[in-house]
């Protein structure tokens, strides 16, 4: 397994250097940037697994860097490390996509588990996004599955993604296609509700 690459962004050169040195001693690869422009240059030209960003820096803030990172084609996970712990700054950090927010001073040994936890959370977030995209794609391609998902959502009150996963799980267990199960579910709904007019509800593409 290759070593993790961490970018430390802090206008205090001593803090940035100390953190990088400590992270390297713990088996990670770390690089420092002392302002937003330098961080952008490094992120544009190299690959990093995580960025640790000072929330407040002169000229351009860490929040502005967070916006830029989020706009990247493949944004990297990041969290903030700052001397400020006021509620407004923390709330802004979360709104900008930070995985967590730490208040200085912080020992390097304390950072290691936070880094691994942040990366694990980032992976979970990416998996959820990928699952959501798969659901959307399937619903767009197959109208009967979309209708069946809508029926399950109405019957059980679960989210669109959970209804999709249930249908897929049953299909695998019964070694049948999702399309076949969807047709069966639609037929059973029609039999159970003979007096109801109209079509079964479809899972709306934008509904979570």
What pLDDT sits at residue 50?
A: 93
What pLDDT sits at residue 197?
A: 47
What pLDDT sits at residue 1?
A: 44
The answer to whether 77 touches 122, Cβ cutoff 8 Å, is yes
Per-position DSSP letters for 83-152, written without gaps between them: S---HHHHHHHHHTT-S-EEESS--HHHHHHHHHHHHHHHHHHHHHHHHHHHHHHHHHH-HHHHHHHHHH
116/58 Cα distance (integer angstroms): 29
Question: Within this chain, do residues 88 and 25 fall inside the same structural domain, yes or no?
Answer: yes
Question: Within this chain, do residues 120 and 148 fall inside the same structural domain, yes or no?
Answer: no
Tens digit of each residue's pLDDT (9 = 90 or more) over 11-61: 999 999 999 999 999 999 999 999 999 999 999 888 899 999 998 888 888
Average pLDDT over residues 76-83: 88
In a domain, 202, yes or no: no
The answer to whether 57 touches 11, Cβ cutoff 8 Å, is yes
Average pLDDT over residues 96-103: 86
- Domain encompassing residue 10: 5-129
Name the pLDDT band for 190 (thresholds 50, 70, 90).
Answer: confident
Question: Within this chain, do residues 16 and 107 fall inside the same structural domain, yes or no?
Answer: yes
Question: Within this chain, do residues 24 and 71 fall inside the same structural domain, yes or no?
Answer: yes
What pLDDT sits at residue 24?
A: 94
pLDDT exceeds cutoff 60 at 3: yes
189/113 Cα distance (integer angstroms): 50
In a domain, 101, yes or no: yes
In a domain, 207, yes or no: no
152/164 Cα distance (integer angstroms): 9
In a domain, 198, yes or no: no
Average pLDDT over residues 101-115: 89
Cis peptide preceding 115, ω within 30 of 0 = no
Average pLDDT over residues 104-124: 88
Distances (CA, A) of 172 to 138, 148, 158, 178: 16, 16, 20, 8
Lowest-confidence segment of 7-16, 56-65, 123-132, 153-162 by average pLDDT: 123-132
Average pLDDT over residues 158-176: 88
Question: Within this chain, do residues 152 and 68 fall inside the same structural domain, yes or no?
Answer: no
In a domain, 206, yes or no: no
What pLDDT sits at residue 193?
A: 60
Question: Within this chain, do residues 57 and 115 fall inside the same structural domain, yes or no?
Answer: yes
Question: Within this chain, do residues 11 and 89 fall inside the same structural domain, yes or no?
Answer: yes
Average pLDDT over residues 162-171: 88
Q: What is the 3-state secondary structure (H, E, C) of 43-58?
A: HHHCCCCEEEECCCCC
Question: Within this chain, do residues 106 and 153 fall inside the same structural domain, yes or no?
Answer: no
Cα–Cα nearest to 145, from 196, 200, 195: 200
């Amino acid at each position: 397994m290759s070593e993790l690459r961490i970018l430390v962004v802090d206008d205090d050169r001593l803090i940035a250097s100390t953190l990088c040195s400590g992270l390297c001693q713990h088996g990670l690869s770390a690089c420092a940037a002392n302002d937003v422009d330098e961080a952008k240059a490094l992120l544009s030209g190299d690959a990093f697994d995580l960025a640790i960003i000072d929330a407040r820096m002169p000229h351009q803030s860490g929040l502005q860097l967070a916006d830029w990172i989020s706009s990247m084609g493949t944004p990297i996970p990041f969290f903030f490390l700052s001397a400020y712990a006021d509620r407004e700054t923390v709330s802004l950090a979360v709104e900008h996509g930070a995985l967590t927010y730490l208040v200085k001073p912080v020992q390097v040994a304390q950072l290691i588990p936070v880094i691994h936890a942040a990366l694990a959370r980032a992976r979970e977030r990416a998996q959820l996004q990928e699952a959501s995209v798969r659901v959307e794609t399937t619903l767009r391609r197959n109208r009967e599955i979309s209708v069946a998902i809508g029926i399950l959502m109405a019957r059980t009150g679960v989210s669109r993604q959970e209804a999709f996963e249930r249908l897929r799980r049953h299909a695998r267990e019964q070694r049948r296609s999702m399309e076949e199960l969807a047709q069966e579910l639609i037929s059973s709904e029609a039999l159970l509700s003979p007096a109801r007019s109209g079509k079964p509800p479809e899972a709306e593409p934008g509904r979570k």
